Structures are given as structure tokens and as C-alpha cells.
Chain A
């Protein structure tokens, strides 16, 4: 039986897209251009942008990949708020005019494509991986479900960069680590298997580290995955405060039985 969705595929209304255009190579000031986009039910802002690219102006640049809110490539400022374009339904915005800007606090590669190097470098600097003393693990790291709960929320980050765009400290302080990197630092410090607290300490406890957050909470407000980086930063402050007068020693989880012995059992 063929399933027919009422109104699906029909043009419901026409919406004006006001898109910020900027090409650094042309050495022109950024400008806004308007495009009329026929909207169907279920159409996302990313679909609208791609409609413009395919039918109205092929020179428009935008970054996207999965179209299902997993890769985080299509984060942009839509009607003044950082969102994933692929997860934002045009009709749900309930506006006749949709203003689309690239993410803020980044340089722009072209049009709606931000240069995310800052995000990736900051992320890399906090060692976003489990640090251990042994060079090579010989077995599994044992972790209880309740131990995983401590950082589970912060594993959801898809590195879309929306939090850095919304962060007011990022707007003034170029050297600030930013909510994404700080949340990921907490994610690994809170991990019972990790032993890298002291390795991350100098960076986190620096003049542009965890203490520069003003707790505006904009990062958590815009995060499309509900990661809540502001909470991670406050928890990180708690960890640093508790260990302010002592040299903190992080005791990592013990290694489980050797893999070879497990194979024998299986």
C-alpha cells in the first residue's frame, strides 16, 4: 500500500533567505543577498541553502555532509541563533524571512563556511584521549556503569563549533580555550580510566583556561546535542578548586585480565 503524506511535496509557502556572502579572495566587504525559496513540508534550512545553490546562485558556499545531525558540518547562525541547518525545519521557524550567517568568532573561508582551525587546535591541546602510564594496554580497562555516567553527557559532542560561536569570552579573548575544549577536557578527566589530569593542568589552569568562563551559558543554550559545556566548565572548576593546594594524583582504573586469558576462556 502506498503511503501518502498530506501536503508532502507541495510548496507550502515562499520564504526569503537573507544570506551573508563573503569571499576573502575578492577583498570586498561582506554583504547580504536575498533569495526566494519555495518551501515544502519537511524542508530544512540546509535544503533551502542547497536549493539556492542548485537553482539560484551556484557560487554560494556552504559546508555539509551527513544531513542528519551527526557530523556537525552544517552549523550556522540561523535567525540569530547557532543551529544545525540540517536539523532546523523552515516551517518550524515560522518566519517569512530567514537570516543565515556563518558561525561567529571564526574567520570565514567563504560565505557560510567558517574556518574551524581554532576549534580543532584547542580541542587537540587538551589531549582529548585517555592518558595512561603504560605504553601498551595488555587487557581491558575496567569501568563501572556509574563511573561512565559521570562523563557520559560530554561524549555527545560532534564538534560542530556552535558553542565557540555563541561564547562571549571567545569574542574578546583569542587565546581562550573555549567551551568545546574545556568540556572535552572534563570528559577525559572525569573518566575513571584516565590518568592525564596533571598533563592537562597547565593549560586548564592558565590565564586563558577554565577561569575565564563568565558562565553566560550561551554554549549550552545552542548546543544541538545538549552537551552542556557550561556545566562541564563548572565541574572542572570544582576539580581544580579541590586540588588547589595539593598536587593532584589521578588514580586510573586497573587493567582487567590479559586478553590472551580471555581468549582462552572463550
Chain B
């Protein structure tokens, strides 16, 4: 693939990460599926955690919806491409040369795939079964 196509994807994924990442962060506040939007809610009598945006069951409830599952999967895809292509660029500059670049490109491709499969597994399991 031509470098200009790869770099165009790099810039576009960066933009999408910004948008989807914003939604991801808004889940902690404005879009939080809790009524009072607090991160942690403790019982009034003792310090037992009973709710809040970061409460385990609240978090898993978000993953149960197909919309949010798809958004997270997209975010993961864009992040994996952006991060590992970024690493490829940095390492190619540090170790220029045909052989080194081949090793770097394939290493990043394999590492990216491993992370992508592992992350997708988490999202899909959460979506289907409600937990990992």
C-alpha cells in the first residue's frame, strides 16, 4: 500500500479516535446510565460501594447494548491501527533499512492483530454473556 494511503488512514483514525474517545469519556458524566452521574456511590450507613458510573454492573450494562458494543469495537479498531502504525513509523525512522523495516512492519502487524483479537474477544464476550 502506498504510504500516502496509510498516512491518510492514520490521520482519519486519529480523528475518529478523538470523536469516539469523547463519547467513551462522556460515559462517565453526561451519558452515564446512572441517575446522579457520580462515579462511586456508597451506602449511607457504611462505606460499601452500592452504585455509580464505575460500579461493575453499571459498566457491564453498557457493554450489553449493541450500539455501545459497536462503538467500542470501532474505537478498538481505530486505536490498534493508529497506535501500531505510529510505532512502525517511529521505529522505521530509528532503524532505517529494507530488512529492519520488514521486521518492524510484520512485528507491528502481528502485535496489532493479537491486541485486536484479544480486545474484540472481551467486547464480544461482554456483549453476549454479560461478563468475562
Contact = CB atoms under 8 A, between A and B. Distances in A.
A19 B92 CA distance: 35
Interface stretch (B1-9, B25-33, B51-59, B62-70): B1-9
A207 B4 contact: no
Main SS class of interface, A: loop
> Which 6 residue pairs of A and B lie closest in terms of their CB atoms, listed nearest first?
A173-B93, A175-B96, A240-B4, A211-B7, A244-B4, A172-B93
B96 A205 contact: no
Interface of B: 2-5, 7-8, 89, 92-94, 96-97, 101
Contact of A241 (B8, B89, B92, B97): B8
Counting chain A CB atoms within 10 Å of each CB, the highest count among B5, B93, B96 belongs to B93
Contact of A211 (B3, B94, B96, B101): B3
B2 A244 contact: yes
Nearest to B6: A211
Nearest to A214: B93
B8 A244 contact: yes
Contacts of B3: 205-207, 209, 211
Nearest to A243: B4
A245 B1 CA distance: 11
A205 B4 contact: yes
B8 A174 contact: no
Contacts of B5: 244-245
Interface in A136-151: none
A169 B93 contact: yes
Chain B contact surface mostly: helix
A173 B8 contact: no
Contact of B101 (A176, A205, A207): A207
Chain A contact-residue range equals: 10 to 19
A118 to B, nearest CB: 13
A207 B8 contact: no
Interface of A: 169, 172-176, 205-209, 211-212, 240-241, 244-245
11 contacts: A175-B97, A176-B93, A207-B3, A207-B92, A207-B101, A208-B92, A211-B4, A212-B89, A240-B4, A241-B4, A244-B5
Given A169-B93, A205-B2, A212-B89, 17 more contacts: A172-B94, A173-B92, A173-B96, A205-B3, A205-B4, A207-B3, A207-B92, A208-B96, A211-B4, A211-B7, A240-B4, A241-B4, A241-B8, A244-B2, A244-B4, A244-B5, A245-B5
B26 to A, nearest CB: 31
A241 B6 CA distance: 11
A70 to B, nearest CB: 34
A172 B96 CA distance: 9
Nearest to A206: B3
Nearest to A212: B93
Of the candidates B4, B92, B97, the one having the most CB atoms from chain A within 10 angstroms of its own CB is B4
A241 B3 CA distance: 10
Contact of B96 (A174, A241, A245): A174
Contacts of B93: 169, 172-173, 176, 212
A169 B94 CA distance: 9
A249 to B, nearest CB: 16
